[in-house]
Amino acid sequence: MSTSQTKYPKFLDADFEKDISGRITPRDGPIVLRNPHIDDLAEDVLYHLDLSDKKNDLPAMFGDVKFVCFGGSPKRMEKFAHFMVKELNINIQAGMTLSNISHGSDRYVLYKVGPVLSVSHGMGIPSMSIVFHEVLKLLYHACCKDVKLFRLGTSGGLGLEPGTVVITDAAVDGLLRPYMEVATLGMLLQHPAFLDRDLCEELQAIGSADTSYNTVIGKTMCTYDFYEGQARLDGAFCDFTVEDKLAFLKRIHDRGVLNIEMESLCFAAMAHRAAVKSAIICCTIVDRLQSDQISASHEMLEDWQGRCQQIVAKYIRRHLNIQ
Ligand SMILES: O=P(O)(O)O[C@@H]1C[C@H](O)[C@@H](CO)O1
Ligand SMILES: O=c1cc[nH]c(=O)[nH]1
């Protein structure tokens, strides 16, 4: 069903501007896939989103998308979609409700509110990676242009009052390495996880206008596990002491790590590889130098998560010229 029109700009490596360190300059313009095989497919089934470039008219459904907001939990992203309806003054016709476009797959949720997509990514890098591939292909098939990507998450902070908003300027793995390592064809490939500094600073300026909480920019450590991987003593297993834990957390804090979560490395690496402008904005829900357990009330957690949503909503409104 999809129309071909201006679709499928061919990828040329030279199209991607890089600095001397190999950092790709993120840019506006059409979404380009760095995969020559996609155009050879008779049909591209986006299995986990329950969409296909043949069965769905993706340009008609998604061609106006400019902002994609990811977050771990399906409920949070549904709530964010409803919040964006209000923020963008969108009229939902009588008798209609916002619906989960990917309801047939039962893996992720996907809501569209005007030019905004709200997508859940589940927990951890494997889950994030799958939905990122499929969302990027969706944007490509839909001929979207000038798209920005955001991850709105939660994290454990280091020396920060819970509720602080951290904007990631670089994502690192559990060994402080700034790239995502992926086993591909029996080789370990390293994909650098750079983020767009200008976007970080713009979001920080928006966040800082609200003085009831702090908005800071720094490094985010991304781990493959919530418990031992994040130096917690309260998992089902633990082979280290409280002193070992604190020494590790203080060491990474001294190297500029402000928070720890589980998806930033993949999100940043994949957005960088696609040369799409992107940002990661997480509230902290515990100070890991004080505690492992997350004991804040549900209301408190909702309030903290709302801070990231409000900052991104203000950014989107500003860029859509909505007063
Ligand atoms: O964005 P969310 O809050 O889902 O991400 C963090 C990282 C893990 O997926 C999860 C662990 O509680 O929260
Ligand atoms: O401590 C935390 C809190 C949220 N998410 C994490 O990955 N770690």
- Summarised one tens digit per residue, pLDDT across range 211-232 is 999 999 999 999 999 999 999 9
- pLDDT per residue over 177-212, tens digit each? 999 999 999 999 999 999 999 999 999 999 999 999
223 C-alpha vs ligand 2 centroid, how far in Å? Answer: 10
Taking the CA of residue 232 as reference, the ligand 2 atom at the shortest distance is: 1
Residue whose Cα lies nearest atom 9 of ligand 1: it is: 123
Indicate whether residue 264 lines ligand 1 (CB < 6 A): no
What domains does the chain contain, in order, with CATH numbers? 3-319 (3.40.50.1580)
Query: What stretches of 179-297 show up as alpha helix (H) in DSSP?
Result: 197-208, 242-254, 264-273
> Which pair of tokens denotes residue 233?
């003593």
Q: Which pLDDT belongs to residue 96?
A: 74
Q: Is 122 in the pocket of ligand 1 (CB under 6 A)?
A: no
Token pair 């994040």: residue: 230
In angstroms, the CA 269 to CA 261 distance is 15
DSSP state of 123: S
pLDDT in tens, 244-255: 999 999 999 999
Q: How far is the CA of 154 from the centre of ligand 2 (A)?
A: 6
Ligand 2 residue neighbourhood (C-beta within 6 Å): 154-156, 226, 230, 260-262, 285-286
Q: Tell me the ligand closest to 281's alpha carbon.
A: 1
Which pLDDT belongs to residue 3? Answer: 46
**pLDDT at position 91:** 86
pLDDT, mean over the chain: 94
Instruction: For residues 290 and 294, give the distance between their C-alpha atoms in angstroms, rounded to a whole number.
Output: 11
Nearest CA to ligand 1 atom 4: 72
Q: Nearest 5 degrees, angle CA 273-CA 279-CA 283?
A: 140
Mutational pocket test of ligand 2: of 123, 125, 127, 154, the residue with most ligand atoms within 8 Å of the beta carbon: 154
CB 57 within 8 A of CB 2: yes
The atom number, within ligand 1, closest to the CA of 294 reads 12
- Annotated ligand binding at 124? The verdict is no
* Cα 133 to ligand 2 centroid, rounded to whole Å: 24
User: Is a pLDDT exceeding 70 seen at residue 9?
Assistant: no
User: In sequence order, which residues have a C-beta less than 8 Å from that of residue 69 and are 6 or more positions away?
Assistant: 77, 80, 116, 117, 118, 119, 149, 150, 151, 152, 312
